[in-house]
Amino acid sequence: MIQPVIEKIILGIDPGTTIMGYGVLRVKGTKPEMIAMGIIDLRKFGNHYLKLRHIHERVLSIIESYLPDELAIEAPFFGKNVQSMLKLGRAQGVAMAVALSRDIPITEYAPLKIKMAITGNGQASKEQVADMLQRMLHFSKDDMPTFMDATDGLAAAYCHFLQMGRPTMEKGYSGWKDFISKNPDRVK
């Protein structure tokens, strides 16, 4: 069962060395609400170290803007290109270091776990994840980002929200008799 909170802000990050996605969820009670999502565009930087500096600056700016209580970040998965993996790990490490410098607890989630939490399918596409998030968080198609990295960041935050437990229904009924006994004023 999700433990109700007065308010909690969760920052989710999908690390990348070209495009880094992020999403911010506000949880009130047991209800999540998307308050922001976007990308950190690193394509204009040719030098990897300049990318790392930009990641540091932007993640710090996002943290200062939304004051998250927790960070959920997608763990890189092993690829065939060791050099790319090393660069991705550095990018993830910089984002984590910024959060740690602000005493924000960090939880890593495997891509498979995030997709499974959102869609029920660990092999879901980025589009399927984005579509499910749009339905669950009730944001319009107009708010759908151009880059799915943003919804991947939001997915990390939503996965973390789900780890708070399972939402409970305010009123559950085992059948019509149970409904009638709990709501005599609503039945004639």
**Residue 99 in domain:** yes
Determine which one of 33, 57, 69, 74 is catalytic: 74
Q: Which residues contribute to the annotated binding site? A: 14, 74, 149
Residue 168 binned pLDDT confidence (cut-offs 50, 70, 90): very low
CATH number at residue 143: 3.30.420.10
The predicted structure's pLDDT at residue 57: 98
Query: Where does the pLDDT of residue 170 fall: very low under 50, low under 70, confident under 90, or very high at 90 and above?
Result: very low
Per-residue model confidence as pLDDT tens digits over 138-159:
988 888 888 999 999 999 999 9
Average pLDDT on 106-126 reads 94
- From the candidates 69, 127, 142, 149, which is the catalytic residue? 149
What is the crossing angle of helices 148-162 and 126-137, to 10°? 60
CB 20 within 8 A of CB 45: no
Q: Which of 14, 57, 70, 143 is catalytic?
A: 14
- What is the reported pLDDT for 10? 98
Enter the pTM of the model. 0.84
132, two tokens: 């499910």
pLDDT at position 144, please?
86
The per-residue pLDDT for 177 is 76
Residue 61: inside a domain, yes or no?
A: yes
Binding residues for Mg(2+): 14, 74, 149
Q: What is the pLDDT of residue 99?
A: 97
Specify the pLDDT at position 165: 64
What integer best gives the mean pLDDT of the chain?
90
Q: Which of 31, 36, 1 is nearest to 136 (CA)?
A: 31
For 42, the 3-state DSSP assignment is: coil
Would residue 1 count as lying in a domain?
no
Asked if the structure places residue 148 within a domain, the reply is yes
Dig out the tokens for 39 from the structure: 């990308």
pLDDT of 118 above 80: yes
Residue 175 lies in a domain: yes
Classify residue 151: in a domain, yes or no: yes
- State how beta strands 19-29 and 5-14 pair: antiparallel
Assigned domain for 173 exists: yes
Per the structure, the complete domain to which residue 62 belongs is given by 7-182
Does residue 2 lie in a domain region?
Answer: no
Domain count, the chain: 1
* Residue 74 is a catalytic residue: yes
Residue 185 appears among annotated catalytic residues: no
